Amino acid sequence: MALKTKNTILGILLYSTSHASAAVIESGSFYSEVLELKNLAFTEDSGKYVAPTVQERADFRQLAINLYDHNWATAETQANNLGYDLVKFSNTTTNSVYWGVREQLVDGAQTKGWGSFFINENAVTNVTIEVPHPVFDGNTHRLGERVFERSEANGFMLAGSHRSANGSQTANPTSLEFSIFQEVHEIWNGGYGDSTAWQMHGYGATTKSYFPDGTDAVMSDGAGNVTPELIALDIALEALPDNVFGQAYVYNQLDTDNPLNELVNGVGQNGHDPFWRLRAFNNPQGQFSRDAGGTFVHIETSTHIRSGSTNRETYLANAIVSAINTTSQSSPGHVTNDIIQIPTVPEPGLFGLFFASVLSLFYLRRHRATL
């Protein structure tokens, strides 16, 4: 691919007596890599998205496990069998090394549209950054990449098709029960990975017209709860300069005068109406994470905040990174010598301290506190 130094190593790693596979070694800007992958994604009504079979989904689950476990040799063979390349990417922006898989191209084009998935070799935060609509939700791929590299997150997931590649919602990983995106999410963010998924979305002018004036973000955990992650993100966004960011809200099902609802939405603002349009209740990634005892963060931001590079990549991205750093309670875990390193579960007292500290900030809110 362009803008990178590439060296393909052929035939030096043999993982069985009958199969030789090729590793792709690259260095450069991961931001540029993500832009290229987004540009390869199938467009709306292209008719090119290929729904994975049951066997392909099962095989990709095993690939996701070996990526998560840092079993690069096994992952390489599995990737090749699925028409994917294993890529070792050295990000010269951060000096980080990412191992991931992306589709092998035919005549410069994808043939499946399943997406690309990367693991940070030396991750610091136990989170996965997910971009399910890189074509439909403008600039979420740029935002997601910046958040991934700056938070030193464990995983990065980028869908490979417009949500309606073969017709309405036919390739939408946030509404399909069966997709490669879902399989990877279940491994990296469910009971096995035990990490938190931060999923990037965007909304346009029509949706924004339903919200209070100046709304630039609506967040949810997909079940109507107010979680530490949502509180931390709301506070970080509200701290942005007035000329950059308007207001952030958290969809929830609490009473209007509940202290947590007032903390994230202000006095007198119902957490359900009108934000239910972005509640993400049917999102299968969120459903799986919650059922597995994990956490899911659904972030919707306005076109206004996503369209300008400075607002998006300096202010917005850094606010999300700040919230991740505040709430990431454990280190990424992976298998070493066949022993699973289970990330440490935070003591309940830590969450109590966190809630107490953020509640004390309630009356300092710039936009919404009323006396």
pLDDT band at 22 (very low <50, low <70, confident <90, very high): low
- Cα–Cα distance measured from residue 363 to residue 371, given in angstroms and rounded to the nearest whole number: 9
Pairing of strands 96-103, 116-120: antiparallel
β-partners of residue 20 are 14
pLDDT at 353 over 50: no
β-partners of residue 131 are 158
Q: In the prediction, which pLDDT does 87 show?
A: 98
| Order of all β-strands in the sheet with 96-103 | 4-14, 20-28, 84-91, 96-103, 116-120, 153-158, 125-131, 196-203, 295-302, 215-220, 247-250
Q: In the prediction, which pLDDT does 11 show?
A: 34
Ramachandran sector of residue 292 (left: φ over 0; alpha: ψ -120 to 50; beta: rest)? alpha
pLDDT digits (tens, 9 = 90+) for 99-126: 999 999 999 999 999 999 999 999 999 9
Percent of all residues in the chain with a pLDDT value above 70, rounded to a whole number: 82
- Cα–Cα distance measured from residue 312 to residue 328, given in angstroms and rounded to the nearest whole number: 22
Fold of 4-364: Aminopeptidase (3.40.630)
Give the start-to-end residue ranges of the domains of the chain. Answer: 4-364
pLDDT band at 195 (very low <50, low <70, confident <90, very high): confident
Of 4-8, 213-217, 229-233, give the lowest mean pLDDT range.
4-8
